[in-house]
Chain A
Amino acid sequence: QAQDALAAQSLKAALAPQQRALAALIQLQQAARVARYRSAAANEGTARVALGSADGGLERRAQGEWAGAMPPGLRALMAALDHPGPLPAAWKADAHAWIGARLPGEAQRLAAQRAVQDVDDGCGSCRAVLRAWLRAGVATGVPTGALALHGSPAIDTRFARAWRQGGAQ
């Protein structure tokens, strides 16, 4: 029967089990991709890894940012609080959410919310105070006492060039 179908050039009927297996494989791959995506989304902010083979089948994935990184809205607010200019839209909601989530203790939260109100009332010198409260929230978000690693800046001066040329001779 299969040979008949092959002769009639109808592939679907000829290789029915293989077709079913292929469909199942495709489904499985999709499910794996979805599961990987979900687990990665759950671990937002941490470095993600991908499995690949030795011939370089790695996927390009978003890499985790620094653990103390702020949401972009709050970063814009911190930058705007440095100058006596207009603040970004919906800054009060951002600030209140951040204060509620990050500051420990009722007293600190109240003081920070008072600073938000002062800035909203147009107090220029209170901007630095609010910035300090928002910064304190960043500090509580960093779990360990680890520091960030840095290289030294590569600086090209006449002295360094002469030193290198002297070494080459």
Chain B
Amino acid sequence: MIVVILVMLTGAASALMYALSRQWLDALLALIAAAALSVLLGDHTLPGQTRAHALIDPEGPPADLGDVRSIGVKGDGMRAARWRDLPARPLTWQAPKDATLTLDFPRRIARGSLFRLTATRPGASGWRMQLLAENGLLLAESNGKGATQALAWTPPAAERMVLKARVLDAKGQVIEQGPVPLLVVEPPALRVTGRFSAPSFDLHALHTLLADSGALLDWQVELGSGIIRGQLPRTPFAQADLVVMDGPWLAAHPELAGSGAALLVIGAPPDDAQTVEAGPLALEREGRKAWLAQGDWHRMAIGDPRAHSLWWQEIFDRLDVRQGDGVEWVDTEALPLPHDRLEVCARGASGNALFPQLRQSIAWQARSDRADALCVAVWPAKTGWLEAQSGPATHQVYVYANTDWPSWQAALRRAATAAYAARTPGLAQARARPLPAWPFAAVFGAALLLLWWRERRL
């Protein structure tokens, strides 16, 4: 700015000196030269323009689309991580009609719980899905009916593994196969206090189920007057996660009820209890206390152990039995790929997220599209497991190869493209262009040359 003012002052002074000596043409030339140079040095722009249409290349989307009024894309479109970087614009896109595959499964489960894999092939029939171990051993198979099929398997050990899933057609030919990563974690042991005034087969079945689940049991059953059969936990605990007792014991020891743990009373609820009835379990409106008015579950334990444990798991879930504390990792990305943005989210995390393989430590950030979880974004470098840590909690995310599950990738791209097309389009921002410099440089040069020529001629 100061330079521009100096140029204008110098030009005005030169013009004044020429004018005093009545060289009107030279004064004019000096004024023109000063004006051209000041325009050249000033930071001037032209009013902006917008582009009408741009075709997006899914492999390398442009970094900036601010001045484009509408965009188009061919094929399956782009992944959600790439669409999210672009401003919303009206999209012209024809969704391909060929078959896709969608898989749905948990990436992380606790040891001893059921792993369910659901596959969807819209419009297809007579196909089935197989889950295989790394050694080719068949672990589970779907029933082969309908467009959506599910299979279930119980991982026996706490480890991380990359299983294989196969989609077969009616003749048993492999249509598609790919990796199914699964992280099985060992949860902290459930701490249960049990107090009962009489033994029963039901209590024995519950005790066996809890002991087989690896729970820490502080269990006492009164056999007769003054004789208690009991068991102390292998490591003593002060605060239980769950207290189970029967009605007579609760009546005799009401002080055990208010310990802060979830409380399950076996027996019918008293008449004055304010409960929410749904099925055999009567939940108290305030607090985590429930009455279980159904017995005879030991028959189910003998006849169908899986249904028995699932029944108890549902009761635990409704009672909100909490076990351990820390961080719950949220998998937001269905199919992470290398060199693509990966969002890692967690509930209950604080401080920094650490990625040892990438040598990155990033502060957890709240996101407007997630109510409760904190997220960080990383760009994984290669295919395989990516470790994440937050304080003492650890997690592993499997990064697929670009060639894995092509039709699932196509389905994800189509869904992401459709979601982008449904966004409310924003207006194109006219982008200001810089003023071209060369005409002013030419005018300035010509004026000075002319002045120099006239000075020399005199």
The smallest C-beta distance from B51 to any residue of chain A, in angstroms, reads 43
CB–CB B211/A151 < 8 A: no
In chain A, positions 63-121 with a C-beta closer than 8 Å to chain B are: 63-70, 78-79, 82, 108, 111-112, 115
Known: A78-B157, A132-B135. A154 touches B323 (CB 8 A): yes
Bound-state Cα–Cα, A90 to B79, Å: 48
CB–CB B133/A136 < 8 A: yes
4 residue pairs, one from A and one from B, having the closest CB atoms: A148-B112, A151-B323, A155-B348, A151-B321
Q: Which residues of the partner chain B approach A68 to less than 8 Å between Cβ atoms?
A: 156-157
User: CB within 8 A of B310: which of A60, A115, A147, A157?
Assistant: A147
Q: Which residues of the partner chain B approach A144 to less than 8 Å between Cβ atoms?
A: 305-306
The residue on A at minimum CB distance from B393 is A153
User: CB within 8 A of B212: which of A66, A79, A130, A132?
Assistant: A66
Task: Verify if A138 is at the interface (C-beta below 8 Å from B).
Answer: yes
User: CB within 8 A of A153: which of B312, B317, B325?
Assistant: B325
Known: A53-B226, A135-B157, A157-B348. A149 touches B135 (CB 8 A): no
The residue on B at minimum CB distance from A139 is B156
CB–CB B230/A49 < 8 A: yes
Bound-state Cα–Cα, A72 to B323, Å: 25
Known: A132-B135, A157-B372. A147 touches B112 (CB 8 A): yes
CB–CB A151/B322 < 8 A: yes
Task: Verify if A54 is at the interface (C-beta below 8 Å from B).
Answer: yes
Bound-state Cα–Cα, A153 to B324, Å: 6
Bound-state Cα–Cα, A58 to B219, Å: 10
Known: A82-B160, A131-B161, A133-B135. A150 touches B113 (CB 8 A): yes
In chain A, positions 138-169 with a C-beta closer than 8 Å to chain B are: 138-139, 141-142, 144-160
Bound-state Cα–Cα, A127 to B242, Å: 40
CB–CB B228/A154 < 8 A: no
Bound-state Cα–Cα, A59 to B330, Å: 43
Task: Verify if A38 is at the interface (C-beta below 8 Å from B).
Answer: no
In chain B, positions 218-232 with a C-beta closer than 8 Å to chain A are: 220, 222, 226-232
Q: Which residues of the partner chain A approach B159 to less than 8 Å between Cβ atoms?
A: 78-79, 82, 131, 135
User: CB within 8 A of A70: which of B157, B215, B226, B348?
Assistant: B157
CB–CB B226/A58 < 8 A: no
Bound-state Cα–Cα, A22 to B215, Å: 41
Task: Verify if B67 is at the interface (C-beta below 8 Å from A).
Answer: no
User: CB within 8 A of A135: which of B156, B309, B328?
Assistant: B156
Task: Verify if B154 is at the interface (C-beta below 8 Å from A).
Answer: yes
Task: Verify if A48 is at the interface (C-beta below 8 Å from B).
Answer: yes
The smallest C-beta distance from B31 to any residue of chain A, in angstroms, reads 66
In chain B, positions 233-251 with a C-beta closer than 8 Å to chain A are: 233-234, 236, 241-242
Task: Verify if B391 is at the interface (C-beta below 8 Å from A).
Answer: no
The smallest C-beta distance from B300 to any residue of chain A, in angstroms, reads 11
Contact with A along B308-336 (1 / 0, CB 8 A): 11101100110011111111100000000
Task: Verify if A47 is at the interface (C-beta below 8 Å from B).
Answer: yes
Contact with B along A24-59 (1 / 0, CB 8 A): 000000000000000000000011111111100011
Task: Verify if A129 is at the interface (C-beta below 8 Å from B).
Answer: yes
The residue on B at minimum CB distance from A145 is B306
CB–CB A152/B190 < 8 A: no
CB–CB B227/A149 < 8 A: no
Q: Which residues of the partner chain B approach A136 to less than 8 Å between Cβ atoms?
A: 133, 135, 137
The residue on B at minimum CB distance from A127 is B134
User: CB within 8 A of B308: which of A63, A130, A146?
Assistant: A146
The residue on A at minimum CB distance from B374 is A157
Bound-state Cα–Cα, A50 to B233, Å: 12
Task: Verify if A128 is at the interface (C-beta below 8 Å from B).
Answer: yes
New A-B contacts (7) at CB < 8 Å, excluding given A61-B234, A63-B216, A135-B155: A53-B228, A63-B217, A138-B156, A139-B154, A141-B156, A150-B313, A155-B348
CB–CB A149/B313 < 8 A: yes
Task: Verify if B147 is at the interface (C-beta below 8 Å from A).
Answer: no
Bound-state Cα–Cα, A48 to B231, Å: 7
Bound-state Cα–Cα, A112 to B134, Å: 12
Bound-state Cα–Cα, A68 to B213, Å: 10
Task: Verify if A6 is at the interface (C-beta below 8 Å from B).
Answer: no
CB–CB A115/B135 < 8 A: yes
Known: A131-B134, A135-B156, A146-B305. A155 touches B328 (CB 8 A): yes
The residue on B at minimum CB distance from A60 is B232
The smallest C-beta distance from A92 to any residue of chain B, in angstroms, reads 18
Task: Verify if A62 is at the interface (C-beta below 8 Å from B).
Answer: yes
Q: Which residues of the partner chain A approach B234 to less than 8 Å between Cβ atoms?
A: 61-63
CB–CB B135/A52 < 8 A: no
The smallest C-beta distance from A148 to any residue of chain B, in angstroms, reads 3
Known: A138-B157, A146-B308, A151-B316. A61 touches B232 (CB 8 A): yes
CB–CB A151/B190 < 8 A: yes
